[in-house]
Structure 1
Amino acid sequence: MTSWTIANVRPWGAAPVDLTIDGTEITGVRPAGTARPDGESVDGRGLLALPGFVNAHAHVDKSWWGQPWVSYGGEPTTQGRIAHERAERDRYGIPGVDGTVAVLREYLRHGTTATRTHVDVDLGLGLRGIEVVREAADRLDGAIDVEIVAFPQDGVIRRPGVLDLLDRAAQAGATSIGGLDPAGIDRDPVAQLDGLFEIAERRGVGLDIHLHDGGELGAFQYELIIDRTLRAGLQGRVTVSHGFALGELAPDRQRALLDDLGEAGISWATVAPVRTAPLPWRGMAERGIGLGLGTDGIRDLWSPFGDGDLLRIALGFARLHGLRTDEELTAAVELATTKAAPFVHRERHDLVPGARADLVLIDAQNVPDALVRVPPRALVVAGGRVVARDGEVLLNA
C-alpha cells in the first residue's frame, strides 16, 4: 500500500475518525466518514486506537524464546546471573538471529513498533551481538524500529578492553553505549563513568547506564552521573535504567535529587518489577524527567518470565504505583507510547499528521479499560504497513 485509509477508529478513546496514511506517515485525521481515500480503505470498526508501543528497555539478543524450555539456574544475584549467562549462552545459541527474530515478532504481535535494546558487548562476543540484532531487524524489513545500546553486561573497568569495544560500537553506529553498576560491579564508579562519558562526548552518542545499587550507594552514583552530564554538555542524552534507589530515599533527599536530575535532563527507564520501591513518577513528570517502560529480558538466562507485551508492563507499573483514576491509568499507557518518543529519537509519536504510521487497534471501551484487561491486539500497523492481525504476525522472516 502507498496511500490508504484506516476508517472509523477512536484515537485514545475519542470520537471516531478516519486516518489517512501515505507511505510510512500519517497524513490526515478527519471525522469518520468524511475522508475521501485515494487508495484502499480498512474498516477500523470503531475500535480504540493507540500509537504503537515503544519498548524503552529491552535485551532482544538474549532470549531463548521459541526453543525448548530452559530451567532457571545459577545464583539469584546480579553477579550470579552474569556468571551463569556467560557459562551457558553458547549452549542455547545466544545471541542468535532466529531467537532475536522470534522476540521481535512477539513485540509486533503485541503492538510494539519501536524498541531501544541493549545488546551485549564483551570480550567473548566482541560486536557479534550487534550484528545479530541488525540482521534480525533486517529480516523483518524495518517493521520494528530498533535502536541499539552497546551494553557491557560483564562490567567495564574490571574487564580491560571493554571500553575499546564500546568505542568501536559507537563508531559502528550504536546510538548509545551502556554502563553497569559502576560501584557494585566495577567497584570503581569514577573510572567507569569517566571512561563512558569520554566516549559519549567524543563520538556523539548517548549513555544508558544500568544501575541496580540501592539506597545511598545508588544515590551517590546518581550524583556522579549528574555532575558528568552537566560537565560534558550531554543534557537530554543520558538515561539511568532501573535506578531502584530513587524510590528508596527519604523524601527530602529524593526531591533534591529530582531537581538535579531535571536540570541535567537525565531520563529513566523502568520495567516496574514487583517488590521494588515505587518511583516518584509524578515528581519526575513535574520536572520534565523522561520516564520510559520496557520489558527487560524475555525468557532468557536471567529469568524465565516475559512475553513481550508492553501493555502488560504498563499494567504492572500502574499496580506497583497504586494508580486508580482514569487519568492515572491513561498516564501509564502514555509512558508506553507517546511519552517514550525520545527513547527512540522521535520528535513525536502519536496519532497525528506527520508522525510515523504506527498504531494499534484494541477492542476496548477506553484507555483504562484496555490497560486493566490487556486484550489481544486486533490490528497492528507499523511504518504504514499492517503487520499483525488478531494476534498473528503477517510478515515472513
Structure 2
Amino acid sequence: MVDKLSPVSAVRNVRPWGGELSDILIDGATISQVVAASGAPIGDGEIDGRGLLAIPGIVNTHAHIDKSWWGLPWQSYGGVRSTDGRIQHERAHRDELGIPSVEITSRVLAEFVKHGTTAIRSHVDVDLGLGQRGIEAVREAVAAYEGGIACEIVAFPQDGVLRRPGVLELLADAAKAGAEHIGGLDPAGIDKDPVGQIDAIFALAAEHGVGIDIHLHDGGSLGAFQFDLIIDRTQKLGLQGRVNIAHGFAIVDADDARRHDLLQQMGELGISMTTVAPLRMKQFGLHEFAEAGVRFGFGTDGIRDLWGPYGTGDTMGIAWQFARSSGVVYDDDLRRVVELATSLGAPFAGVEKNDLTPGSRADVVLVDSENTMDVLVRTLPREVTVGGGKLLYQR
C-alpha cells in the first residue's frame, strides 16, 4: 500500500514541454496558473523542479492491473502459445498466485507511478470463477492514492462471453455497479459467433449507458469483418464516441483502400483504438489515423503475468517502441507521439484535460531532458510524478 500522500501547491523552476523556466501553481487537484519562474524560496508543499523538463501525466490506455505476478517469485512461461491457450493457463494457475489481490495490484500501480503514469484505463477480469472480486481489488488499490491516480475500469470477459453462460449477467452487474466500460474478446476467434457477441455487448452498453472496449486480435478479412460489425452497431445504437477497439490487428492487415474506408467510418463515429505496439506487427499509421480523426493511445497490456514475463509498467517505453518500429524521426512526429502518450490520451481515462495549462488536472511529470523529443528517444527516468495535486513519486 502507498504511504500517506503529500499535497503539492506548486512545481517551481520547470520547463513545461521544454519551454521557458516556469512555476506551475496548483489548487487542489487542478493547475491554477503557469507563470514565469519567480525565483522565490521553495515553500511548504512546493517542489523545486531544478530546471527539469515537465510533461503532463502519462496515460496508460490499455492495462491489466489485476493480474500480474509482480513481486512474487519468477513464473516460468507455460501452457499453449495461443490466445485460448493463454486463457486456460491463466485460469489453471491464478489461484495459487493469489490473483487478483489488492497487494498485487498495488505493486503494479507503484511501478506505473514510478514511470510517470497518472491515469489508466484497465481491463479487469470478470468471469464465473471470480465474479466481481477483481474489480473490487482494483478499486481498493486505486483508492489508496486518494485521487492521485485517475482510473477507469473495463469489465473484461477474458474467458469469452457467449461460450460461458452467465458472463453477460456478470457484465451487466459490473456496469450497474459503476464500471465505466464493458469489454469483449475476439467475437469470432473465441466465441465463434461474431454477430452474437457484438450484438450482446453493444445491447448491454446501450442499456446501461457505459462504453465498450473490445479486444480484437483476429486479423485479415475475418478481423476486418468484425470492424464492420462494430461500426454498424455503433451507429445504429447511438454509441458514437463510446467505443474503443484494442489491438485491432486487422486494421494494419487491410489493403490501403479497405483501411482508408474503415478509418474514415471510425473517425466519423468517434471509434478509438489502443495499441501495445507489438514488435511483430506493422504499427498504426501516425498520419493516417490523424487524417481520419481516429484517436489512439498506448498501453502496457499485462506486465509480468501468466501470459508472458515481459513488461516494466512504462507506457512511454511502449510509445518509444511504436515510434522506433514506425520509423518516426522528425521532431514534429516525435512530439506527437509524446502527446499521444500524455495529453491526447486523457479521454481514455475519463480525464477532461491533461496538459500543463490552467484548468488541467494537476498531473505533472519531471524528466532530466533536453527537449520533448529527447524524453521519448531516450526513455529517460522520471524524476518526479505529481498526480491529482499529490506527490506520488520522487526518484
Normalized against structure 2, the TM-score is what? 0.96
Q: Does 1:198 align with 2:203?
A: yes
Q: Does 1:373 align with 2:386?
A: no
Superposition deviation, residue 353 in structure 1 = 0.6
Higher mean alpha-carbon deviation, 131-140 vs 58-67, is at 131-140
Q: Does 1:269 align with 2:274?
A: yes
User: Which of residues 105, 114, 120 is equivalent to 2:110?
Assistant: 105
Superposition deviation, residue 35 in structure 1 = 8.0
- 3-state SS, counterpart of residue 285 of structure 1: helix
Q: Does 1:115 align with 2:124?
A: no
Query: Matches of 2:352 and 2:29 in 1, distance apart?
Result: 15
| Contact 1:18/1:35 (8 A) holds in 2 | no
- 3-state SS, counterpart of residue 46 of structure 1: coil
Task: Map 1:1-397; keep pairs closer than 5 Å.
Answer: 4-33=9-38, 40-390=45-395
Give CA-to-partner distance per residue, 1:12-31, whole Å, 9 cap, x none. 11111111011111000111
Superposition deviation, residue 272 in structure 1 = 0.3
Change (3 A) 1:38 1:96: closer
RMSD: 1.4
Give CA-to-partner distance per residue, 1:5-46, whole Å, 9 cap, x none. 211111111111111011111000111227899864322111
Give CA-to-partner distance per residue, 1:209-267, whole Å, 9 cap, x none. 00000011110000000000000110000000000111111111111111111122100
- 3-state SS, counterpart of residue 87 of structure 1: helix
Give CA-to-partner distance per residue, 1:303-342, whole Å, 9 cap, x none. 1000101111110010121101111111111111011111
Question: Structure 1 counterpart of 2:134, which letter?
Answer: G
Give CA-to-partner distance per residue, 1:83-111, whole Å, 9 cap, x none. 10011110111111111000001101111
% identity of equivalent residues: 57
Query: Matches of 1:281 and 1:167 in 2, distance apart?
Result: 35
Higher RCO (CA-CA < 8 Å; seq separation 6+): 2
Query: Matches of 1:59 and 1:41 in 2, distance apart?
Result: 33
- 3-state SS, counterpart of residue 230 of structure 2: helix
Question: Structure 2 counterpart of 1:132, which letter?
Answer: A
Q: Partner of 1:394 in structure 2? A: none
Query: Matches of 1:318 and 1:275 in 2, distance apart?
Result: 14
| Contact 1:211/1:240 (8 A) holds in 2 | yes
| Contact 2:221/2:254 (8 A) holds in 1 | yes
Superposition deviation, residue 139 in structure 1 = 2.6
Normalized against structure 1, the TM-score is what? 0.96
Higher mean alpha-carbon deviation, 283-292 vs 87-96, is at 283-292
- 3-state SS, counterpart of residue 54 of structure 2: strand
Query: Matches of 1:359 and 1:173 in 2, distance apart?
Result: 28
Question: Structure 2 counterpart of 1:354, which letter?
Answer: G
Give CA-to-partner distance per residue, 1:257-310, whole Å, 9 cap, x none. 111111221000000011111212312111221101000000000010001011
Query: Matches of 2:104 and 2:45 in 1, distance apart?
Result: 35
Query: Matches of 2:248 and 2:8 in 1, distance apart?
Result: 44
| Contact 1:4/1:37 (8 A) holds in 2 | no
- 3-state SS, counterpart of residue 52 of structure 2: strand
Higher mean alpha-carbon deviation, 283-292 vs 193-202, is at 283-292
- 3-state SS, counterpart of residue 351 of structure 2: coil
Higher mean alpha-carbon deviation, 371-380 vs 301-310, is at 371-380
Question: Structure 1 counterpart of 2:128, which letter?
Answer: L
Count of residue correspondences: 390
- 3-state SS, counterpart of residue 127 of structure 2: coil
Q: Partner of 1:395 in structure 2? A: none
Superposition deviation, residue 143 in structure 1 = 2.2
Change (3 A) 1:168 1:35: farther
| Contact 1:238/1:266 (8 A) holds in 2 | yes
Superposition deviation, residue 142 in structure 1 = 2.9
Give CA-to-partner distance per residue, 1:122-156, whole Å, 9 cap, x none. 11111111111111112333321121100000000
Superposition deviation, residue 172 in structure 1 = 0.4
- 3-state SS, counterpart of residue 81 of structure 1: helix
Higher mean alpha-carbon deviation, 36-45 vs 336-345, is at 36-45
Higher mean alpha-carbon deviation, 30-39 vs 225-234, is at 30-39
Q: Partner of 2:3 in structure 1? A: none
Change (3 A) 1:88 1:38: closer
Change (3 A) 1:199 1:219: same
Query: Matches of 1:287 and 1:347 in 2, distance apart?
Result: 22
Superposition deviation, residue 202 in structure 1 = 0.6
| Contact 1:4/1:38 (8 A) holds in 2 | no
Higher mean alpha-carbon deviation, 184-193 vs 38-47, is at 38-47
